[in-house]
Structure 1
């Protein structure tokens, strides 16, 4: 099965990002495909290169980066939501890219299922 994932919450104020990551990881381990992960609303904060979590805490951004690198997962940040929250090309973490809502629509067309994490 081919999944599209929509992440609507930031990395440290809600469980949604961790749940989305664990879902994606488990789906890939079971042989499914992740067509794209689209970060929207506060979810765009998962893509900042400016975050510095304590060394004894998980680094959600790096988790997403490694997943994308290991499995060629497309990580897309909504441009409008990003701009509202100060996420721009200059502080975008490697492995993420900025694009528009058309990428979310394409996920809905190409994937068998869209799974949403967060409000």
Structure 2
């Protein structure tokens, strides 16, 4: 009978030079053709003018006018993530654990959170 070998492995986390922290107001995504999960995170921001016209008098800006787009807000996609099925399940477990900790910190019951989740699944995007 052989004994199972035990081993400890240390993994160090580093940040690539392209690492960035992004704010997310929401996400959009779904399954890829390879059945991976694609998530695009977006931030909702006020729409910027399409352009600005400056009126110059005596080499100084005398007036400024801008042309605003028809829409008031823009959902700016900042980060896209693709993960395989097993990683998506791991992400789900991790996210549920983090949400439960925040729920506890906010003094909310599991029932209150479940009610909001059901409303969101029904297309109503309110909050707690």
TM-score bin (small chain): under 0.3
Kindly indicate which of the two structures has a greater share of residues assigned to helix. 1
* Structure whose alpha-carbon radius of gyration is higher: 2
* Higher RCO, 1 vs 2 (CA within 8 Å, ≥6 residues apart): 1
| TM-score (normalizing by structure 1) | 0.24
Kindly indicate which of the two structures has a greater share of residues assigned to strand. 2
